[in-house]
Amino acid sequence: MALTDSVQQKINTWLTGNYDEASKTEIRRLQESGDDDALSDAFYRDLEFGTGGLRGIMGTGSNRMNRYTLGMATQGLCNYLLQSFPGQEVKVAIAHDSRLNSRLFAETAAGIFSANGITVYLFEALRPTPELSFAIRHLGCQSGCVVTASHNPKEYNGYKVYWNDGAQVVAPHDKNIIREVTAIQSVDEVKFDADQSKIHLVGAEIDAAYLAEVKKLSINPAAIQRQHDLKIVYTPLHGTGITLVPKALEQLGFDNIHIVEAQATPDGNFPTVKSPNPEEKVAMQMALDQAQQLDADLIIATDPDADRVGIGVKNTAGEWVLVNGNQTAALLTHYLVSARAQAGQLNKEKDYIVYTIVTSNVLGDVARHYGIRSYQTLTGFKYIAGIIRDLEAKNEGHHYIGGGEESYGYMIGSFIRDKDAVSACCLIAEMAAVAKDQGRTLYEEMVQMYRTYGLYKEDLISLTKHGQRGAEEIQEMMAQLRQNPPTSLGGSPVVQLLDYQQQVARDLRTGQQTPLEHERSNVLQFLTEDGSTVSARPSGTEPKIKFYFSLKQPNFGAQESFEQAQQQLDGRIKQIIQEMQLV
């Protein structure tokens, strides 16, 4: 691929501008080797500062995650903060995960904030992302950021930005920050010279305050006391979870925790896994092996920044199985609501849950069963936090119990405003202890839950499209689906198309259109006559397009095998995938 004029111009800017010699040497190496594809991919665009911040492959170039792209983003954020809070002491909190360069990037951001006269609370070492959300509120900050690329492969890093309520930025701040970041035309505009007097290291005091809030979430401490020796295998997958998850579990009363030692040390190379993603069985294999050897009760795994959690349980045959994100979200929601009801703590007028449009509808069924409210949002915990914020503004005493999304993220209680694997680990363990106290396993609890509400089966396909052409392919796929929606899926007619980009719901039988109240987002949902839902959504943080499948078998009776019923729904999902030509 020949270099375009715009790419060559950016390369020249880096070679002649105020960039370090190592970056210039790397550019010259690629030039000398004739690797135009690598140069084009590194410079064909500026790494986009989206509504959640930055995320990209680390390296040299305008389309890479490095101190310069991070620096320009931070300077734009500084400019917006100083405009938004004139005459005030502006304060920010900064955390980072275990990834390569995460500490360097966190310290770089701290230096830029301080050089702009902003007070910085920088965690002394790596910490979970949810603790950053907590720290913003605890320390009275106007903003904050965390350096992480979540569960991406080791080549990636990122930078997420939060506002003063501890949630990731939303409108109008997201677009306004993007405008300020885009206005930074040169690295020379970035104030890199730190004012150390403005940078304060934090750690233990925030840990203690955060863990105290986590402990308050417990609903059934008596069951934990009776089942304190519940055998838990935990792996942090070389990430930040090791700093708080064991402490949090011990604080609740669990004293039989077995850590996967080979994955206990934070390491951005993630030496034991290809991708540190608790959604993937291969990442969980060491924990599965250890649980098998120990005859454990529960497996828990957290991703590198400890905001997502995966779990494993034993089925009725004593075999270890992994519980997916929808199932865990449903189990947690059912436990939180039912346990509060049993304890006489449920307030039907004020309590509510929140979940996203691509998460299992069993969460809504649970809420209806217990007579409390439920809300659905676009994908992302900033929208869940937005519901909490809006209801708090009404000052009517509404109480958020919990919520989540299918991608293994859960938020219990409102003291943080982002997904939180630390508190989720604690409530999952409590849920397992309560089940064991009653002579059941979590697997049996899950089967009984589906017998109560109907069997839901969800699946997800992610198609990765790399580089400039990949981004174009994703746009083309969405345009084609929008213009020519499928007429039937899995043998059932498609009756409705929900287009969140155009904010309309279209009845495909009559052509009638009704408005959607959600914020604009590039998501399509196809609803079939038999109640199935297929959703298409380009990822906002990765070069992927995701397809979500949700099917329901309403009459899942006591005589029918859970495994057989799941297999039947799996077959229908495979049929839909083939019909949509996704494989």
Q: What is the pLDDT of residues 513-549, one digit of tens each?
A: 999 988 889 999 999 988 889 999 998 666 789 999 9
What is this structure's pTM? 0.93
CB 497 within 8 A of CB 483: no
**Structure tokens given for 382:** 């900033």
Element (H, E) at 513: strand 513-515
pLDDT the model gives residue 1? 58
Say which residue the tokens 């219990």 belong to.
412
Residue pLDDT, tens place only, 22-38: 999 999 999 999 988 99
Amino acid at 154: K
CA 458 to chain centre: 18
Say which residue the tokens 């070069």 belong to.
543
Domains within the chain, CATH numbers bracketed: 1-44 (no CATH), 47-202 (3.40.120.10), 210-446 (3.40.120.10), 455-579 (3.30.310.50)
Write down the catalytic residue from 98, 150, 407, 423.
150
Residue pLDDT, tens place only, 440-477: 999 999 999 999 998 999 998 989 887 777 888 899 99
Q: How far apart are CA 132 and CA 163, in angstroms?
A: 11
pLDDT the model gives residue 559? 66
Which distant-in-sequence residues (6+ apart) come within 8 Å of 156 by Cβ? 55, 56, 57, 58, 65, 99, 149
pLDDT the model gives residue 542? 67
Task: Tell me the three state secondary structure of residue 301.
Answer: strand
Helices 204-216 + 129-138 axis angle, to 10: 100
CB 214 within 8 A of CB 242: no
CB 129 within 8 A of CB 305: yes
pLDDT the model gives residue 491? 85
Which distant-in-sequence residues (6+ apart) come within 8 Å of 13 by Cβ? none
Cross-strand pairs, 373: 352
> Rounded to 5, what percent of the chain is helix, strand, coil?
40, 20, 35
Helices 36-43 + 21-33 axis angle, to 10: 140
Region for residue 318 given its phi and psi (left: phi exceeds 0; alpha: psi -120 to 50; beta: otherwise): left
Active site residue 407: no
Q: How far apart are CA 145 and CA 183, in angstroms?
A: 20
All residue ranges of the chain with pLDDT < 50 are none
**Structure tokens given for 66:** 């490095």
Task: Tell me the three state secondary structure of residue 343.
Answer: coil
